[in-house]
Amino acid sequence: MPDNAPPQTSALRVLTLPEPLKLDCGETLDHVEIAYESWGEPNANRSNVILICHALTGDQFAASPNPLTGRPAWWPRVIGPGLAIDTDRYHVIATNVLGGCMGTTGPASNAPDGKPYGTRFPVITIGDMVRAQRAFIAALGIDSLFSVIGGSMGGMQALEWAAQAPGQVFTSVPIATSARHSAQNIAFYEVGRQAIMADPDWCEGNYLAQGKRPSRGLAIARMAAHITYVSEGALKRKFDRGLQDREKTSFSFDADFQVESYLRYQGHSFVDRFDANSYLYVTRAMDYFDLSSRSEGRLADVFRDTPVRFCVFSFSSDWHYPPEANREITRALIAAGAEVSYLDIQSDKGHDAFLLKEPIYERALAGFLSSSAELRGI
């Protein structure tokens, strides 16, 4: 397989949506494939289905290894038998988002003309991602979800589900997220997009057809974003000013410092598993996300009298989607009359804490799901 080819899809479970998908931009995608993975079994009335929504660079392999990249599951700490998202009790499904690059239709997919979309792919929104998931769930014969759960961009989808289809979601768990991308969020992702588009190998978005890949630009984008996922305290704890495989600074532009070596690795390893145009589209969807804009800036009105039960999590040292962004969600939900629990977890691990070992968070998530399941008779 040439290294510029889109991921081979034979090892992936893929469902083709039965109907065309209308998008917020006004365009329609006639052929949409959704790649997914699942764990645990549905119960008789399918009332125990949990949808896991992944973050920007995640995929559907939340609880089992990715057969294409060989990478381990990204959320093994919370999904599995006896874990918070207990696969002995729940039927857990994860899809790759619309616009993604792990089997779901996105800019690296072929357009109806048989050539990769590239930047001919329509600009999508978080709302479109969720509409695609709803069509997917319906195609599986599932009427409603017991829970929709996600961190970061996954949390946006958890909120969007509750906003779009309150009757189809029993609980929603937005984690380390925001209902409204901030100017600083937009700024960081704009730097990443500019880095990709500045790479001559981006070829105005047409790199797949030309046998190229903007790997340098994509690596820079990843490096810049990665800094925002880690707290200043965690960087100090892990690396401080430690040198990489040397006793003294080299008086050169080599990766003298461990933190430089770590960032370079983050950038270079990312380009093997992610499509640069997907990065553009998915970050754009996040930038466009502002739930409150649907009710003239009043987020509470979006959720007025919602039947959905929410559990919102934030992490104290997360400066990408800081606690305050999650408190805004919580306050709006309370004002809307929703049932909402909110936990701010003390952690020095920054935004990435939602993927890492944080026992209080894991126990609280387990408790929320378990008590909600009892209410629903699961």
Is residue 146 within 8 Å of 50, Cβ to Cβ?
Answer: yes
R_g of the chain, CA atoms, integer Å? 20
Question: Binding of a second copy at residue 139 (CB under 8 A)?
Answer: no
Q: Write out the binding residues for a second copy, residues 253-282 only, by CB under 8 A.
A: 253, 255, 257, 259-260, 263-264, 267, 280
Q: Smaller CB distance to a second copy: residue 153 or 223?
A: 223
Q: How many residues bind a second copy (CB under 8 A)?
A: 54
- 256-269: b or e for each residue (b if 16 or more CB lie within 10 Å)? bbbbbbbbeebbee
Q: Residue 194 Cβ, how far from a second copy at the closest point, in Å?
A: 6
CA distances from 131 to 3, 15, 127 (A): 32, 15, 6
Catalytic residue among 47, 152, 278, 317: 152
Which residue is catalytic, options 128, 172, 318, 347? 318
Q: Is 327 annotated as a binding residue?
A: no
User: Which tokens belong to 14?
Assistant: 């893929």
Nearest to 130 by CA among 158, 169, 94, 93: 158
What's the distance, Cα to Cα, between the start and end of the chain in Å? 45
- By the 10 Å C-beta count (0-12 exposed, 13-18 middle, 19+ buried), 26 is classed as exposed
Residue 344 is labelled as binding a ligand: no
20 and 113 Cβ atoms separated by less than 8 Å: no
Nearer to a second copy, 100 or 322 (CB): 322
- Determine whether 351 is an active site residue: yes
Nearer to a second copy among residue 88 and residue 204 (C-beta): 204
Q: With binding defined as CB under 8 A, does residue 143 bind a second copy?
A: no
Helix/strand/coil for 145: strand
Q: Decide if residue 199 touches a second copy (CB under 8 A).
A: yes
Whether 318 is catalytic: yes
Catalytic annotation, residues: 152, 318, 351
Interface ranges with a second copy (CB under 8 A): 24-26, 119, 122-123, 180-184, 186-188, 190-191, 193-195, 197-200, 216-217, 219-220, 223-224, 227, 232, 235-236, 238-241, 249, 251-253, 255, 257, 259-260, 263-264, 267, 280, 284, 287-288, 290, 319
